[in-house]
């Protein structure tokens, strides 16, 4: 099978695409993959590092108010479609998969016009504008949240698959998780993370909460600041503690996230779609602090879907404080019943076979074309 993957801008679009590609390669080792992204997006660094061939298309998004810049965007889109058609003709894919971001627009549209089967994947509970537009042309629309199905007019071609990022975490080795952190097996771990780049609001509240952690002496806290915030946040925490705290591990970045997630009893973090997919695949209780600075406030919608199912608690950023967060963490870590109930609810929402379900659809699309 020859597959073109496209998606960019954030890790939430890139990593699901890579998970689909990895699953396809495992099921059909002779498969060939080409990734089409933007020249300056995160994908331009992440994808080549995975050893996957990469090509780029220049594209920007529409402004939400009338602007002459939108005229230029239309011109870039048309130019991007021409570039995409050339790349597709050269590579000759059996199917094209889009996972969101502006770059999906010209690539998926070009594939549809060339008669190549396409699948787009919507990660969030609130569907993005690009995917809503592309759903008119796509052969299949896959969604991470059931609630998103109703947001696509052609529901006959939409299906609930979950998020393919879930597949990779269920294979993680717990033993390696403990050894990566240098702590004894069986240690209770609370992971606090604001996303791959960190989150200032979460970092600030962790500084306030740090002196309270001694009240949970049997819990090991792993706090990921984000690389750009690390030095300043670590300095502030050291000042707040006045002496080293062996139970608090402050890191700029976590290179082995699946392995650490696999040993976490509780996760505190944002409500990005990929993160939620990983949490529910493993059945990890969570305290979610959705970012208010995202399109359509989709992280809050993501978080509410888990809260309503009893799979997580949510604290809005405007209500966040060190005392409140510690109170919520303490309650969860001191109640085996609360942990068990939330874990079961979370696991009931998980789709650990998501990547396999999507690859199954790709095979069907390819067979139909043949």
- Which of 3.30.70.120, 3.40.50.2000, 3.40.720.10, 3.40.50.450 is the CATH number of 171-349? 3.40.50.2000
Instruction: Please check whether residue 237 is in contact with residue 250, taking contact to mean a CB–CB distance below 8 angstroms.
Output: yes
| Residue position matching structure tokens 């073109």 | 4
Residue 206: pLDDT over 80: yes
pLDDT of residue 55: 97
CB 88 within 8 A of CB 109: no
Q: Does the pLDDT of residue 18 top 60, yes or no?
A: yes
pLDDT > 70? residue 272: yes
pLDDT tens readout for residues 283-316:
999 999 999 988 778 899 999 999 999 999 999 9
Q: How many CB atoms lie within 10 A of CB 282?
A: 22
How high does pLDDT run on average in the chain? 90
Dihedral through CA 274, CA 275, CA 276, CA 282, nearest 10? Answer: 110
pLDDT of residue 318: 95
Residue 325 has pLDDT above 80, yes or no: yes
Mean pLDDT calculated for residue range 40-53: 92
Predicted confidence (pLDDT) at residue 62 exceeds the cutoff of 80: no
Of residues 102 and 119, more confidently modeled: 119
Q: Compute the distance between CA of residue 251 and CA of residue 358 in angstroms, rounded to an integer.
A: 34
Residues above pLDDT 70, as percent of the chain: 95
CATH number of 2-164+352-369: 3.40.50.2000
State yes or no: 196 annotated in a binding site.
yes
Same fold, 2-164+352-369 and 171-349: yes
Is residue 354 within 8 Å of 166, Cβ to Cβ? yes
By CB neighbour count within 10 A (0-12 exposed, 13-18 middle, 19+ buried), where does 370 fall? exposed
* pLDDT score of 133: 87
Average the pLDDT over 143-150 and give the result. Answer: 88
> Model confidence over 216-249: pLDDT tens digits?
999 999 999 998 899 999 999 999 987 777 899 9
Question: Per-residue pLDDT for 64 more than 60?
Answer: no
- Mean pLDDT over 200-221 rounds to 94
Domains of the chain, by residue range, sit at 2-164+352-369, 171-349
Residue 299 is labelled as binding a ligand: yes
Q: Using one digit for the tens of pLDDT, what is the confidence trace for 345-369?
A: 999 998 889 999 999 999 999 987 6
Can you tell me the mean pLDDT for 28-41? Answer: 94
pLDDT value at position 278?
92
H runs (alpha helix) in the chain: 11-27, 43-49, 68-91, 104-113, 129-134, 165-169, 174-181, 200-209, 230-241, 257-261, 273-282, 298-308, 322-333, 336-349, 354-369
pLDDT at residue 199 tops 90: no
Is a pLDDT exceeding 90 seen at residue 58? Answer: no
pLDDT for 269 equals: 95
Residue bearing the bigger pLDDT, 369 or 265: 265
Q: What is the pLDDT of residue 70?
A: 52
The answer on pLDDT for 61 being more than 70 is: no
Q: Binding site annotation covers 174? A: no
How long is the chain?
370
| Coil, helix or strand at residue 34 | strand
What gap in Å lies between CA 150 and CA 145, rounded to an integer?
10
């Amino acid at each position: 099978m020859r597959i073109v993957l496209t998606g960019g801008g954030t890790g939430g679009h890139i990593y699901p695409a890579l998970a689909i590609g990895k699953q396809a390669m495992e099921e059909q080792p002779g498969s060939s993959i080409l990734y089409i992204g933007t020249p300056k997006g995160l994908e331009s660094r992440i994808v080549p590092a995975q050893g996957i061939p990469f090509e780029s298309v220049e594209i920007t998004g529409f402004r939400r108010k009338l602007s002459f810049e939108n005229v230029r965007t239309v011109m870039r889109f048309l130019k991007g479609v021409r570039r995409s058609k050339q790349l597709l003709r050269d590579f000759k894919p059996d199917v094209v998969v889009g996972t969101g971001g502006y770059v999906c627009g010209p690539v998926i549209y070009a594939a549809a016009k060339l008669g190549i089967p396409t699948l787009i994947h919507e990660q969030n509970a609130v569907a993005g504008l690009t995917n809503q537009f592309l759903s008119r042309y796509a052969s299949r629309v896959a969604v991470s949240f059931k609630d998103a199905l109703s947001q696509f007019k052609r529901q006959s071609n939409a299906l609930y698959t979950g998020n393919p990022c879930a597949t990779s975490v269920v294979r993680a080795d717990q033993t390696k998780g403990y050894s990566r952190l240098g702590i004894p097996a069986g240690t209770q771990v609370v992971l606090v993370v604001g996303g791959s780049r960190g989150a200032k609001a979460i970092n600030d509240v962790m500084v306030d909460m740090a002196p309270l952690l001694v009240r949970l002496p049997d819990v090991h806290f792993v706090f990921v600041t984000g690389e750009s915030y690390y030095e300043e946040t670590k300095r502030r925490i050291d000042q707040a503690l006045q002496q080293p705290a062996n139970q608090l591990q402050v890191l700029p970045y976590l290179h082995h996230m699946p392995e650490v997630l696999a040993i976490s009893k509780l996760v505190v973090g944002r409500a990005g779609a990929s993160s939620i997919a990983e949490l529910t695949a493993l059945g990890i209780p969570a305290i979610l602090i959705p970012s208010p600075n995202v399109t359509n406030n989709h992280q809050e919608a993501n978080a509410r879907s888990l809260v309503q199912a009893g799979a997580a608690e949510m604290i809005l950023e405007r209500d966040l404080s060190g005392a409140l967060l510690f109170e919520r963490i303490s309650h969860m870590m001191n109640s085996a019943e609360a942990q068990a109930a939330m874990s079961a609810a979370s696991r009931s929402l998980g789709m650990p076979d998501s990547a396999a379900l999507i690859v199954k659809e790709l095979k069907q699309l390819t067979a139909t074309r043949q």
